[in-house]
Structure 1
């Protein structure tokens, strides 16, 4: 998309253009869904959180101030929605909000790999990581965000992202090595 394209979509969404929301959804839904699926661990919950995210975007597009890239702003919104939902503080469904129909989120290559790893020792080791390490793993490896964008989404320095990524990888490697040791 041309520079300013995503920002223009947000301005259109803020003006009530549901078609712009649909275009933003089409552009980012697969990345957001992969990230949310990793956080939630359940496809249906991830779909619900994605819809919560798009509703929050619909409501708050006018608050976007351009201090971040639209993509990192979207991941921040998605992260907040996921943490609210997963902590049991989901908002009630609004009545009569005219949002566009959601597209089919059939599994793409990244999601298929994640789903295939769902029962693997790697996935189990990742699931045992502290939340702040799982967040970094999901944003880097599932969503494919650069480290600077991950830092922006999480509101932490890039050095902290690197440290968390290092420690998360080390913990997963240690867990896998411990499983390989014969008893």
Structure 2
């Protein structure tokens, strides 16, 4: 017969596995969406989503229930995306990563324009705090309401709108800056 502690551990492990499976089914699509909004490239989404659920599995036993599972997964996804951006930046700085190119673009000129616009916006967003960037992306690109973002980020609604206002002001300021001296923005 197994010692009681082993039975509890095995029972907990089975419970955790069942819970993780339910979380995976319920939230995988949203995790992919969050990761995409946070700048994870399409070709990296599957691995990044996997990383989110591996991290969730590792920390499930320490989950205290102070937030919803959805909020907890959002936080993990945000950190996974931040880590991926940091690693990509290091690879670019070391010259190990080729510049991005769109996979399914209508034509070379349009693809270049889209790539440049994305690079400019990414540059503006990179200057924001992680909280401001997340709020901006969730609201402007993800279609989340302020209340949804407040719940996900576990902050007051006014904090969401303050971060959003600051992020918008920064993006507008940065986008107008190059035109003040008659120059076109560079990616």
Measured against the shorter chain, the TM-score band is 0.5 to 0.7
With over 3 angstroms needed to count, the CA separation of the structure-2 counterparts of 1:174 and 1:28, relative to structure 1, is: same
Structure with higher RCO (Cα < 8 A, 6+ apart): 1
CA distance in 1, matches of 2:31, 2:142: 7
Residue 66 (structure 1) aligns with = 65
Segments of structure 2 that go 5 or more residues without pairing to the other structure are 1-11, 89-113, 183-187
Largest Rg, 1 or 2: 2
Does the Cα contact within 8 Å between 2:135 and 2:163 map onto a contact in 1? yes
TM-score (norm 2): 0.57
CA distance in 1, matches of 2:178, 2:117: 8
More helix by share: 2
Residue 159 (structure 1) aligns with = 158
| Alpha-carbon shift at residue 142 of structure 1 (Å) | 4.2
Match of 1:125 among 113, 121, 126: 121
Residue 15 (structure 1) aligns with = 16
CA distance in 2, matches of 1:180, 1:126: 18
Q: How many pairs were matched up?
A: 143
Does the Cα contact within 8 Å between 1:14 and 1:62 map onto a contact in 2? no
Q: Deviations over 1:89-139 (max 9, x none)?
A: 9xxxxxxxxxxxxxxxxxxxxxxxxxxxx6484884354122433211223
TM-score (norm 1): 0.58
Segments of structure 1 that go 5 or more residues without pairing to the other structure are 1-10, 90-117
With over 3 angstroms needed to count, the CA separation of the structure-2 counterparts of 1:22 and 1:180, relative to structure 1, is: farther
CA RMSD of aligned residues (A): 3.5
Residue 24 (structure 1) aligns with = 23
1:68 is paired with a residue whose SS is coil
CA distance in 1, matches of 2:61, 2:143: 27
CA distance in 2, matches of 1:23, 1:142: 27
